[in-house]
Structure 1
């Protein structure tokens, strides 16, 4: 009975209002945001609570806060509203000749090293499919795919995939980036522990490389002498060029950015420097036809 009642009475306007009340904190501000009369907004919320048979908000003098049941509904409401927005975007693209739409999340390493050529090849094969790519750290990729923000994700293999289906995408090699005249530049390979006497230029705190280097320093019984965080590999190369420290980056990123700046890179010998990047999806069987085409192409490039 509850399911049938929800189908009849749970409409998108009410869900949007429910989310707005949570975000604005009061019914008055939420009603103004959604251009609904306060009395009509109040009636919608009461009908929703009656249909569910539970209270969604704790009503206080200073505003409204979610009950535990309200927190549960908030998660599903946001997902439903996102899916409706996504559906509208994808259907709208058809009017411009687009025949499919794929949303992707990927970490910086994948975007810099591999995806430009891989997505170019996919686009040449399927010119009427549009791909929306967003960069996130590996943990953010996992969460985004779980939340339905993206159909596909690419992240570091040492990430907690939280039950997502994963397959190998690519492998890369981490190297120590330094000025050409650095004392370590004459070495053919380096153990990470041998670099810990130098200052470091690090990537942003949530990056897989940053977490790996800090973990390796702790294992060696030392502290990483981090001088500055930067948002990307190009910024790291410029900081190293300016003698702000040395850095850790993938080999291909060095070839793209560091070599042109006259910098030098030495391969690491540590096991963790040989990385795998993985492709993650919620359920391979539930992918749309165009998402499945991209998934199959990316899983076959190793």
Structure 2
């Protein structure tokens, strides 16, 4: 059987209103036209769908079943329309960029400054997002670019390319307990007072997921939402901090010590949404590559 979507919409309106007249009004149809459509739908289904009465109509058991499935079909059609429409964007639509907390520290701001200066007519929507959510959003066509972490990207069916190193290190006050050290395990770092990111941050959640349930219990003297503040606290000797290397490179206030744990070595990937990217998307991607190479 083949059902016309407008007939299904009309039937749902009739059932919801309890009246063919009211259902016709919602579909902007005349009463004779709506009645003919409902009768044709019953003929097509081969069963009576409505019980007519002086006070209106009500669905038969078959009509109730049809209405339930019609709602599902029309909801699926709406989702399909939305997914396809996400590929059709205005030329002046903002570029949509997603990135994790680590990339938001230096990489994204540096790329944004250069891009927005070079393209005064372009706009960018930026949102922090963890890698799994970023990949889903890109696959759905609801974002243009994403900065994701390699070990979480897996076999995602989207286009990616290497972007840069994003290894995790431990930092502490210059001349402090890390002086002269080049490597350290997280377990050893956790024996000292620490400062950390808020529990809801994407980087904190990533680290805790890789530490697993048997991670050493670290004493966090405080937690903050900003990586710059975290590094400043470590530089002041408040505690050790676990941060991306990029956050501490070139900062003479802190000692930087590589973490020996395998999970600490990670790379960022540039991920693309589906379809052919526009000029603005391509240009922003180029600026992200440059920022990652600095």
Q: TM-score, normalised by structure 1?
A: 0.61
Displacement of 1:102 in angstroms is 1.4
User: Is residue 131 of structure 1 aligned with residue 124 of structure 2?
Assistant: yes
Q: Which runs of 5+ in 1 are unaligned?
A: 15-26, 28-38, 58-66, 94-99
The alpha-carbon deviation at position 42 of structure 1 amounts to: 9.7
Of residues 164, 173, 178, the one that matches 2:172 is 178
Q: Secondary structure at the match of 2:183?
A: coil
Alignment of 1:108-119 (within 5 A): 108-119=101-112
- Residue 282 (structure 1) aligns with: 273
Contact 1:138 1:207 in 2 (8 A): no
CA change 1:242–1:289 in 2 (3 A) is: closer
Query: For residues 279 and 197 of structure 1, do their structure 2 counterparts lie closer, same or farther at Cα, with a shift above 3 Å needed?
Result: same
1:264 maps to 255
Residues 9 and 167 of structure 1: is their aligned pair in 2 closer, same or farther, counting only changes over 3 Å?
Answer: farther
Deviation of 1:167 (Å): 0.9
Counterpart CA distance in 2 for 1:130 and 1:140 is 22
Match of 1:166 in 2: 160
Structure-2 change in CA distance of 1:40 and 1:188 (3 Å): same
Per-residue CA distance 1:161-219 (angstroms, 9 max, x = gap): 63222111121332212234653444232222321313443334465543453355449
Aligned-partner Cα distance in 1 for 2:117–2:241: 36
Alignment of 1:132-211 (within 5 A): 132-160=125-153, 162-180=156-174, 182-205=176-199, 207=201, 209-211=203-205
The corresponding residue for 1:294 is 284
Partner in structure 2 of residue 273 of structure 1:
264
Taking a change above 3 Å as real, the CA distance of residues 187 and 171 of structure 1, as seen in their structure-2 partners, is same
Quickly say closer, same or farther: Cα 1:121–1:271, change in 2 above 3 A.
Answer: same
- Counting matched residue pairs gives 247
Q: Is the 8 A contact 1:111 1:135 kept in 2?
A: yes
- Call closer, same or farther: CA 1:187–1:150 in 2, change over 3 Å: same
Distance (Å, rounded) in 1 between the aligned partners of 2:232 and 2:281: 37
Cα drift, residue 145 of structure 1: 1.8
Higher relative contact order (CA closer than 8 Å, sequence separation 6+): 2
Residue 60 of structure 2: aligned partner: none
* Distance change >3 Å, CA 41–CA 126, structure 1 → 2: farther
| Unaligned runs of at least 5 residues, structure 2 | 11-15, 17-21, 28-33, 42-65
Cross-structure match for 1:30:
none
Aligned mates of 1:203, 1:10 — CA distance in 2: 52
How far apart are the structure 1 equivalents of 2:259 and 2:25? Answer: 62
